[in-house]
Amino acid sequence: MRSESYTISSAITPTAKTSVNGKKTVITVVWYVCGAVFSLLFILPIIYMLAVSTKSQLAADRATGIAMFLPDFKNLNTFFGNYGRVFTAYGIWRNALNSLMYAAVAIVCNILVNGLAGYAISKLNFPGKKFFTFIILFLIIVPVETSIIPMYMIVTELLGLQDRATILGVILPSCISIFNIFLFIQFFSGIPSGYEEAARIDGAGRLRIFFSIILPLSKPIVATVAVFCFIGVWNDYLWPMMLLTPYPEMMPIQAVLQTIQNIEGVTTGEIMASLVVTSIPIFIIYVAAQKYIVQGFGSAGLKM
């Protein structure tokens, strides 16, 4: 009886395993197909943007169906003409340099200010620490639009950042981010205190510990904050428009995009070419820092 039952079980087990493996394969294929379909839906606008940027106005108007998403590389004069006018006639490169300058300064200030704030709240004990932590958590859910008018009054009336000093007024609000402070707090909380204790035994102060130990150990979250700060400054439109309207030469790239769209005689291909140009830096920076972003959110999320 034992030998018979063993024979039956040994005969059934491979079939059962094959069935389970088959189900797993089917589920995996379904997941991949669904993921590919949804990914295609999300990137269709980007494909359309790239395709239209290579076409003349007539070709863009006549394209229907699949042809809407296919670039027109047969007419290279139109392709280079759209991007050439974006850089020469509309001078988008000047505004791109403005945005790059604003973003570079904002990233450095953002890491220093928010990093020090996150380090103080996560590692230091002081009166009111729980209150400040609660305020940070509360302010995360407050919409940014509710603070634009008070922030404008503070920058222009209280700080007096007007005329040419409005460049500082554009950069200053982007140097502080409640969400970035929260990310730093969560990440720094996961760093063992033994590193700080060893540094204090060697006579290091708080600032030296922060710059020599904490920041080098925090590359993932620093990269994450830098990317988010760059995207925020690069895509910012409303705040610079409120301050820099009298000075068009100081406008960021998003402001000139609105100007290009309102120019009489501008073609759809030129508008799409300008959008492609403004999207390339974000794409490059995100791809370069993707590994650190995943690590940063993974580490910061452990204690959420």
User: What does the pLDDT look like over 149-191, one tens digit per residue?
Assistant: 888 888 887 777 766 667 888 888 888 888 889 889 888 888 8
All residues at 6 or more sequence positions from 185 whose CB lies less than 8 Å from its CB, including other chains: 118, 121, 122, 133, 136
Are 50 and 97 part of one and the same domain? no
Q: How confident is the model at residue 101 (pLDDT cuts 50, 70, 90)?
A: very high
Q: Which of 79, 108, 126 is the endpoint of a domain?
A: 79
Are 124 and 32 part of one and the same domain? no
Q: Which of 48, 64, 79 is the endpoint of a domain?
A: 79
Q: How confident is the model at residue 6 (pLDDT cuts 50, 70, 90)?
A: very low
Are 89 and 61 part of one and the same domain? no
Are 123 and 23 part of one and the same domain? no
From residue 299, give the alpha-carbon distance in Å to each of 157, 294, 304: 41, 9, 10
State the pLDDT at residue 224: 87
Q: How confident is the model at residue 9 (pLDDT cuts 50, 70, 90)?
A: very low
pTM, to two decimals = 0.80
Are 15 and 100 part of one and the same domain? no
State the average pLDDT over residues 57-71: 82
Q: From the CB of residue 231, how many other CB atoms can be counted at a distance below 10 Å? A: 15
* pLDDT of 137 above 50: yes
Q: Which of 79, 97, 121 is the endpoint of a domain?
A: 79
Q: Compute the distance between CA of residue 145 and CA of residue 176 in angstroms, rounded to an integer.
A: 15
State the pLDDT at residue 4: 47
State the pLDDT at residue 107: 93
Winning range, highest mean pLDDT, from 30-34, 143-147, 254-258: 30-34
State the pLDDT at residue 5: 46
Are 132 and 230 part of one and the same domain? yes
More confident of the two residues 65 and 280: 280
Structure tokens at 177: 């981010």
State the pLDDT at residue 41: 83
* pLDDT of 301 above 60: no
Are 28 and 156 part of one and the same domain? no
Are 174 and 234 part of one and the same domain? yes
Are 40 and 21 part of one and the same domain? yes
Q: Which domain holds residue 74?
A: 2-79
Structure tokens at 163: 């005329």
Domains: count for the chain: 2
Q: What is the CATH number of the domain that holds 177?
A: 1.10.3720.10
Are 109 and 30 part of one and the same domain? no
State the pLDDT at residue 105: 92
Are 157 and 231 part of one and the same domain? yes
Are 51 and 149 part of one and the same domain? no
Percent pLDDT > 90 in the chain is: 7
Structure tokens at 204: 């290091």
